[in-house]
Structure 1
């Protein structure tokens, strides 16, 4: 039986619609906004902050600096230039350095950012804006869950917006160097660590991306799924991307993961809501089938496109799905990548707020089974 979906319908904007929304909504005099964005080397770092400044929005910003060991000097220089521009764009702001790894190599970035958010003053704010364009999954997912749960408990602010600068080519050209220790994103273990989960039929949904074979191989060994349904982008800005990824992962598809071609998942590369709905549809189909044999568990691994990762995030939030992840210890990037994107293709999702009817069901707590 199909369950009601939290974001169906979903208020979302893409392309030129985003600029109109920014000007019409955030420029209102009664809006008080907290912006969270990455202050790193990614050329999309300035995308949302600069536009909020241009429309005259009342913004206070928390710019997150993700610190990883021994970054290349070129990336340090780019991050410095982006940080300077961000500080100039938003007069009321704070830089928040976040150590991603502890001295023992443990991943601590998610916990660290939540500690920082707990020390922030949220009084008087009407809107939270999270720009995930220059934030990693391990940092952005916990931030968004933190505010979604605050709103669910009635602690405000009332509205939660997520923005991302959609650029699949840039996502492909900035390649992560994976660490050696796969795990679950902070706040996204779902029911994976509960005793009852041991009997569940685990379906792994990895998002395929070029150059990530090693990372996905380690995640496969970590998840130990009973079945795998790889996610391929279609439609995509590059019409041949799906075929190229299938060819790159041919060994995994045919041998290691033993994927039936009918089990490949296709999702619109530019629309996070499409992947969100697809994941929930799979979950709905599996639940009654495995009810008598230990239940079903979907495990997500969003890599590559940030827009598609946002769709996985929405599904993980709604159904409390575990997100298996391999935190990058660093990044490699093509030398041809520009210092900044002059006209980014923005995508906006209004995750929570006054635009949706009330009462709104509370999100599941981590590890709690769905009704």
Structure 2
């Protein structure tokens, strides 16, 4: 029997609904907001910040500057422009530098951002707003997990909102340069390293995207050839043929190394994280009783590409303590897009915790303290 889902129903807004929600909700003078966002080169970094600062005057900003080795001067200049725009939006702001890699080359960004966030004062804050538009997956996932678990069971006293500005063309223009060390995102090992999971039937759910073939090939090797692979493709999407175009990039993997049956391809809406969230949990519910007598079932997620779909994977990973295999970017290639003719970013808002949800809620299945 399917279990109750923590975020079904989930309070969410998409597209033109988002500016209306921000204006109506955050104009309340009793709202005291902590804004958390990326202060990097992504041109979407100031979109949500601008909406929020226009609606709410009582905002304190915690701006994250992700430091990677040897960035190009072009990206440095874009990041400086973004920080200027964010600083002008918030009179009260703090820019925190987060080292993504340690001196030995180890990926430490997720751990570092949680430590920095732990020192923040949440005492008088009514709402925490996280904008992941200009944050990497390796930074935003641990941070959101920390906040969800901090506010979970708190009686609804603090509201947690997650926003993202999605633009498919920009996602394709920003291409990560993967590092050499795949691994699990900080706080998202799940049961992957436990002895009881050694014999589990491992299902890999990689989110496919253009120009991510080498990244996903390395992750497949890191997972030591999972028993089954169910690639995730966007459909419906702004480009109706996007799923087919992405799949064509991975034909070799589908037919040989991954051995993908076309019936096992997972389709999820490009602009709705809840669609992928529910699909992943449905797969988990279907597999658990089937493999219960044969070592169990283990789902492993690998979100790359669209951050909207990645948020759906994040919600599923939080709820079921699923491992998230990831290859951190050591740098980025960014192809400039023409200034005219590009659609406005599509906005998504998820209300993850707070006073809109009755208590008690379906519990999170996790073991965060043992992974810190």
Question: Under a length normalisation based on structure 2, what TM-score does the superposition of the two structures give?
Answer: 0.96
The 5-angstrom pairing of residues 1-371 of structure 1 reads: 1-154=1-154, 158-224=158-224, 225-336=226-337, 338=339, 343-366=344-367
**1:173-215 superposed Cα distances (whole Å, 9 cap, x missing partner):** 1010000100000011001111111011100000000111100
Uncovered stretches (5+) of structure 1, i.e. residues with no partner: none
Aligned-pair Cα RMSD in Å: 1.6
Is contact 2:132–2:164 with CA below 8 Å preserved after alignment?
A: yes
Structure 2: distance between partners of 1:168 and 1:320: 29
Report how far residue 365 of structure 1 moved: 2.3
Contact map agreement 1:183 1:324 (CA 8 A) in 2? yes
Q: Distance in 2 between matches of 1:338 and 1:204?
A: 38
Q: Could you tell me whether the CA contact under 8 Å between 2:170 and 2:337 is conserved in 1?
A: no
Per-residue CA shift, 1:325-347, capped at 9, x if unaligned?
A: 000000001122659x9943210
Moved more, 73-82 or 351-360: 351-360
* Cα distance between partner residues in 2 of 1:57 and 1:366: 37
Q: 2:10 touches 2:351 (CA, 8 Å); kept in 1?
A: yes
Could you tell me how far apart the structure 1 residues matched to 2:256 and 2:37 are?
Answer: 40
The separation in 1 between residues aligned to 2:8 and 2:49, in whole angstroms, is: 28
Unaligned runs of 5+ in 2: none
Alpha-carbon distance, 1:320 to partner? 0.5
- Report the CA distance between 1:364 and its aligned residue: 2.1
Q: C-alpha offsets along residues 265-322 of structure 1, whole Å, 9 cap, x if unaligned?
A: 0000000000000000100000000000111010000000010000000000000000
SS at match of 1:66: strand
Q: Which whole-Å CA distance do the structure 1 matches of 2:198 and 2:76 have between them?
A: 44
Using a 3 Å threshold, how does the CA distance of structure 1 residues 338 and 366 change in structure 2: closer, same or farther?
A: farther
TM-score (norm 1): 0.96
Checking the alignment, whether the CA contact within 8 Å between 2:320 and 2:366 is kept in structure 1 is no
